[in-house]
Every structure is written in C-alpha cells, then in structure tokens.
Amino acid sequence: MPSSTRPLVVSYAQQPLMRQIAATFPALDVRFVDDIAAPTRISIFNQARAMIVAGNPVNAHTLEPWTTLEFVQTLGSGYNNVDLSALQDRHIAAAHNPGQNAYAVAEHALMSAIYLMRHMGAAHTMVLNGQFSQRQQLAGTIRDMRGLTLALYGMGQIGQQLVRLATPFGMNLIYYQRHRHPQVEHEYAVRYVAPDELWKLADIVVLTVPLTDATFHLVGKDQLACMKPGSVLINVGRGPVVDEQALAQALIEERLYGAALDVFETEPLSESSPLRSLPPPVQERTLFSPHISGVTQQALTAMATHALENVQCFFAQQSVHHVLVPRPGVNLWQWQNDGRQKSFATHPNEG
C-alpha cells in the first residue's frame, strides 16, 4: 500500500523489537523519531496523524508542531506524562496500554525480594574481595521466603500477578488499595489491611501504584519509621512515590535492611540524588535498575503489538481499547457501553 494512503504514525518507542513489529503492520506508515532528519522533522510532525509515546511528555507545548494529530497511544500503562486536558482542548483522542507487561514487572519485584532477603549484594562483594572464608557472617542472617509477610501497596494487574507468583513460596500475603478485590482475597488467601497496619506487619513492601497527587511521596520518613528492622522496600510503580531523601537516611540508619528501585524521582537518576552517595556497605543492601522491569522480550512484544493494533483500529473506525480521551464527537459513556472501551473500569490509580 503506498505510504501516501496510509496514516503516518510517529513513534518515540524505537527499540529494535518495536521496529520489527511495526514492519508487520503494512496499513500504517510508521516513522521513528531518530530516523527523521532534523530539517524535515517539523514537516513530518505536520503530517502525522498518530503518535506513539514511551514516557516522553505530551502537553500543550510539545503538541504545538503536531497540526494534523488525531490520536496518541502510550506504549505502556503509565500516562502521568500525558496532559489529557491539552489533548481534549485540541480534539485529539488518546489511549494507554495497561497490563501488557504486568507479569514481567511482578517477576522483577519477586526477584528483587529474593535478592535482598538473601543479602546477595553483600555476598557478591564478599566473593570479589577474596572474603569467601567469611561467608559464615551471612549464615543465619539471610532468609528464605517461607513465612515472611509480603505487603502489596496496590492490587491492580501487577499486584495480582505478583500474588500468583508469590503464593507457592508460602508467604503471608497482605495488601492495601482504595478499592478491595474480594475475589483475589478469596482465591489467594490475601488479607486486606489498612495502610498503617501494612507498614508495621510487612517484611517486604512492594509498591505498584502510579504517580498521582495522592501518591506523591506516599513513602516518607513516617512510613519508613514504621517498618520492621530487616524489612525491605521495592518500588516498581513510579519514582516520586518514594521520598528518596527519606529512604537514603532510613537505609543509612538501618531502619530497614534494604531497597530495590526500578524507578526514581528523576530519571535518569539525578547526580544530586542521595541514593548515589550511599556508603559502600549500604549500597550492598540496595538493588537499582534503570526502569527495565517491564521491558522483557515477551512484555515488549505484547506492548508494541497491542499499541500498534490500537492505532490501526482507530483509523479503521474499529474498537479502541483503554481509552483516555475519546474520539472527537463520541461521548465517553458511549465508548464504555458500546464495547469500544474494553477496560475503562480499571482505575488508573490501581497499579
């Protein structure tokens, strides 16, 4: 099909796997930002009818060159970088992509919990420093997962996948979320608790919530002070949910054993972040990764495929899933009730 008859789609998601999958959608003319020469970039933006974003900001300022834009699709589930009001003002529809990488993120959280409970950072340093004979220092301090209390702050798709993965380990499972999930509680013997109780009971706290006004610095000095000695904090939600200054201080003072973060208040991690200047013995009690928990080969394949399918459906006047801003002229209530909005009932605050 000639490119002139196909909708022009500009993608900020540019991974090699994304490029391979885009090639299997001949009905779309997908261009990748890095492939567009700077002198022609504005011209391409002026012709584009859809945009696929991967964490880059979408707001009134960044939308200025996009004079023909009709649809914005996020690669992942998060959309705190997308100004929905700005899109509505310009009559541009939008959708996000929840759940496609939930298993991968949940698996990363479980891996992080095991890594920290087995003190693998200290063990790794011990071997490399020629201190193999000192391994008895770890004996009796490292823990397996049996009988530990895993607390999930958020019971959306990631939380539910984590519950499924953790169940065979024989852990005590508790959670908090604004909206309870009785079916999950019954099926996996998960107990609902109030936030104050969660912090006091947990050996492992996993955060899966997105960034909202209500979750900004959800974890600060007071919450960390309530955690048990030897407990760990894992954040696979959004970075600003955790006050990094408070966390660094709590780690130094050993109010908790360790922390695993896949997301940070500023990404890339700021030069001035207190997490970058932790003493070496404290660094051994941390596990940091550059926001990669949800981009495994399998997860990225699902994300890219679903995102491109959604774009294709939009231009074919077919069902668009996970709508944030409906097609101009279509009432959101209608989208929810005529089958075009597959899962709007999943609240964005339920990570």
**What's the angle, vertex CA 215, arms to CA 212 and CA 221, rounded to 5?**
150
Question: Is residue 343 in a domain?
Answer: no
CA distance 221 to 243: 8
CA distance 114 to 107: 11
Question: Active site residue: 238, 255, 285, 340, which one?
Answer: 238
Question: Active site residue: 6, 41, 217, 291, which one?
Answer: 291
Residue-level pLDDT at 338: 45
Residue-level pLDDT at 102: 97
Residue-level pLDDT at 329: 73
Characterize the bridge pairing of strands 204-207 and 191-192. unpaired
Question: Is residue 305 in a domain?
Answer: yes
CA distance 79 to 74: 7
What distance, in Å, lies between the first and last C-alpha atoms of the chain?
40
Same domain, 172 and 260: yes
Active site residue 91: no
Residue-level pLDDT at 82: 96
**Tell me, what amino acid is at 79?**
Y
CA distance 292 to 272: 22
Same domain, 116 and 240: yes
Active site residue 107: no
Calculate the dihedral angle through the C-alpha atoms of 15, 16, 19, 23, rounding to the nearest 10 degrees.
-160
Residue-level pLDDT at 331: 61
Question: Active site residue: 64, 187, 254, 267, which one?
Answer: 267
Q: Mark which of 271, 288, 305 sits at the end of a domain.
A: 288
Same domain, 327 and 283: no
Same domain, 328 and 223: no
Same domain, 42 and 189: no
Question: Is residue 91 in a domain?
Answer: yes
CA distance 282 to 300: 33
DSSP assignments along 157-183, one per residue: HHHHHHHHHHGGGT-EEEEE-SS--HH
Question: Is residue 349 in a domain?
Answer: no
| Pure H helices in the chain | 16-22, 38-45, 84-89, 102-117, 120-128, 157-166, 182-188, 195-201, 221-226, 244-252, 280-283, 297-315, 332-337
Active site residue 179: no
- Residues 149, 202 contacting (CB under 8 angstroms): yes
Residue-level pLDDT at 5: 84
Count structural domains, the chain: 2
CATH assignment at residue 67: 3.40.50.720
Question: Is residue 351 in a domain?
Answer: no
Same domain, 262 and 127: yes
Same domain, 205 and 329: no
Same domain, 111 and 214: yes
Same domain, 202 and 330: no
The two structure tokens encoding residue 166: 């953790």
**Percentages of the chain per state (helix, strand, coil), in multiples of 5:** 40, 15, 45
Question: Is residue 346 in a domain?
Answer: no
CA distance 14 to 248: 34
The two structure tokens encoding residue 313: 């459906």
What residues make up the domain containing 72? 3-100+296-337
Per-residue pLDDT of the chain (351 residues; tens, 9 = 90+): 455 689 999 999 999 999 999 999 999 999 999 999 988 899 999 999 999 999 899 999 999 999 999 999 999 999 989 999 999 999 999 999 999 999 999 999 999 999 999 999 999 999 999 999 999 999 999 999 999 999 999 999 999 999 999 999 999 999 999 999 999 999 999 999 999 999 999 999 999 998 999 999 999 999 999 999 999 999 999 999 999 999 999 999 999 999 999 999 999 999 999 999 999 999 999 999 999 999 999 999 999 999 999 999 999 999 999 999 998 876 654 554 444 443 333 333 344
CA distance 29 to 201: 53
Same domain, 113 and 255: yes
- Residues 348, 79 contacting (CB under 8 angstroms): yes
CA distances (Å), origin 265, targets 25, 32, 268: 36, 28, 9
Same domain, 32 and 158: no
User: Model-level pTM?
Assistant: 0.90
Same domain, 275 and 168: yes
Question: Is residue 142 in a domain?
Answer: yes
